[in-house]
């Protein structure tokens, strides 16, 4: 490692999430407005530049690398980037290379992901009802995602399902999702709505505290606290009846900032030290200004020195707009 990254609060930064594109083939109601304006392609880093940036972070101590979007698998030639980054797994410098996807392209790419060195992926599925799925995603088809999940399972990929809790929408489905995940051998993580970007609706109408979800689940399931960690913000329990793991990501009811080990890189080379803060660092300029990684690494270290203690996410009726203006798809979901 070339000078490991330690933030002002003594937290080692070992996890990088990279948005390889802000584009997506869904328009999920909690993530985007339906009529999105995406970045001009000229502003987006090349795959070679993304590889160089990720490799610089690996040299600085990142052990886990997650590719996100938008939808990462709509980025042209993305499998080539994944194959290239897989060299850090082979060398032992990187513990895990993984991906978060909506599943729409998995039937096409699952085998390639496994062959490139991925062992585990996260797939966003908020409902098992096809009509409700179409409503939540606006453009998505549940059968397409299910075909992708089958392909990923067949390819040997370990799968975790991510479900955003939406009040009055999928709050009656979590028992069914737990049973389905148990039957399929998938882990499940339930996530609170995050107040990011203008989405054309009031998030207070969507927000469902996971403290209420957990209390309801405990009426049917035996939830046993475990110390399992994946390097991310979820807190896990074991479901005794299925043997599966259930995670809760609670940025609002119980934030996860005290143990934050993460930073996020956008497809334009902007580094966000915190998901819920606007402070950022431009890495594209030093990346392109020199063939040497010295100036780039100096900029990264300076940015990590500004990482805040925590975010300021709040959802209430007194705060009408989002906590931050950028959409989750820009930062990396």
Given a cut of 80, is residue 84 above it in pLDDT? Answer: yes
Question: How far is it, in rounded angstroms, from Cα 169 to Cα 133?
Answer: 10
Fold of 15-331: TIM Barrel (3.20.20)
Q: Which residue has the higher pLDDT, 252 or 60?
A: 60
Q: What is the mean pLDDT of residues 207-225?
A: 94
pLDDT of residue 221 exceeding 50: yes
Domain map (residue ranges) of the chain: 15-331
The mean per-residue pLDDT over the stretch 288-297 comes to: 96
* Residues 172-201, mean pLDDT to the nearest whole number: 84
Q: Are strands 262-265 and 270-272 parallel, antiparallel or unpaired?
A: antiparallel
pLDDT confidence tier of residue 281, bands split at 50, 70 and 90 = very high
pLDDT at 252 over 80: no
% pLDDT > 70, the chain: 87
Specify the higher pLDDT residue, 66 or 38. Answer: 66
**How confident is the model over 206-226, as a mean pLDDT?**
92
The SS3 assignment for 100 reads strand
- Can you tell me the mean pLDDT for 191-218? 75
Average the pLDDT over 140-166 and give the result: 96
What's the whole-number mean pLDDT along residues 126-141?
Answer: 94
Residue 322 has pLDDT above 70, yes or no: no
What is the average pLDDT across 45-63?
A: 97
Q: Which phi-psi region, left, alpha or beta, contains residue 101 (left: φ > 0; alpha: ψ -120 to 50)?
A: beta
CA atoms within 13 A of residue 41's CA, in its CB half-sphere: 3
What is residue 20's predicted lDDT score, i.e. its pLDDT? 96
Separation between Cα atoms, residue 219 and residue 10, nearest integer Å: 40
pTM here is 0.87
Structure confidence at residue 19 (pLDDT): 95
């Amino acid at each position: 490692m070339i000078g490991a990254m330690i933030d002002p609060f003594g937290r080692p930064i070992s996890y990088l999430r990279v948005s390889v594109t802000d584009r997506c083939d869904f328009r999920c109601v909690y993530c985007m407005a339906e009529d999105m304006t995406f970045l001009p392609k000229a502003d987006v880093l090349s795959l070679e530049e993304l590889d160089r940036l990720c490799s610089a972070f690996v040299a600085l101590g990142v052990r886990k690398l997650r590719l996100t979007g938008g939808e990462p698998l709509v980025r042209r030639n993305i499998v080539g980037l994944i194959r290239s980054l897989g060299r850090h797994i082979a060398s032992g410098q990187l513990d895990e290379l993984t991906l978060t996807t909506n599943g729409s392209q998995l039937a096409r790419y699952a085998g390639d992901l496994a062959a490139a060195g991925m062992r585990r992926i996260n797939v966003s599925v908020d409902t098992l009802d096809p009509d409700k799925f179409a409503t939540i995603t606006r453009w998505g088809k549940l059968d397409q995602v299910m075909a992708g999940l089958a392909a990923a399972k067949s390819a040997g990929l370990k799968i975790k399902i991510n479900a955003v809790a939406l009040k009055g929408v999928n709050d009656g489905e979590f028992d069914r999702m737990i049973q389905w995940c148990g039957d399929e051998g998938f882990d499940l993580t339930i996530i609170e709505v995050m107040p990011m970007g203008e989405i054309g609706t009031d998030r207070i109408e969507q927000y469902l505290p996971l403290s209420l979800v957990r209390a309801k689940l405990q009426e049917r399931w035996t939830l046993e606290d475990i110390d399992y960690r994946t390097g991310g913000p979820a807190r896990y329990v074991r479901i005794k009846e299925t043997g599966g793991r259930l995670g809760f990501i609670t940025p609002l009811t119980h934030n996860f900032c005290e143990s934050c080990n993460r930073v996020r890189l956008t497809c334009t080379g902007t580094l966000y030290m915190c998901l819920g803060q606007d402070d950022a660092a431009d890495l594209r300029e030093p990346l392109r200004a020199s063939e040497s990684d010295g100036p780039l690494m100096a900029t990264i270290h300076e940015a990590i020195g500004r990482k805040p203690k925590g975010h300021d996410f709040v959802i209430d009726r007194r705060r009408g707009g989002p906590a931050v203006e950028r959409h989750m798809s820009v930062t990396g979901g």
